[in-house]
Amino acid sequence: MRMISMYEFRLYPDEEREKTLDDQLGICKELYNGAHNERLEHYEKTGRGLTYAEQAGALSVDRSVFPGRPGMYGRGEEEGQA
């Protein structure tokens, strides 16, 4: 017999953390939508999709679009923050 488990977590952030989460989710949404549009446009022009490597290379350049956002790009930048 197979047992399916589900966990539900609720967050109750204070005002400051809620604003930080909203900012980060907004940036993630912009990056995702931008990448999606880039893939669509590239396909319409060339008839082939972008590879992961092609698009990931462009992402490192795009990070400069959001300066002053510590902790947005991985755990390494969050070290030392509580």
Distance, CA of 54 to CA of 47 (rounded, Å): 15
Distance, CA of 35 to CA of 27 (rounded, Å): 12
Percent of the chain past pLDDT 70, that is, above it, reads 72
Distance, CA of 26 to CA of 5 (rounded, Å): 31
Of 11, 55, 16, nearest to 35 by C-alpha is 55
Predicted TM-score (pTM) of the model is 0.60
Of 4-13, 25-34, 52-61, 73-82, the range with the lowest mean pLDDT is 73-82
48-81 pLDDT, tens digit each: 988 888 888 777 665 666 555 655 555 444 444 4
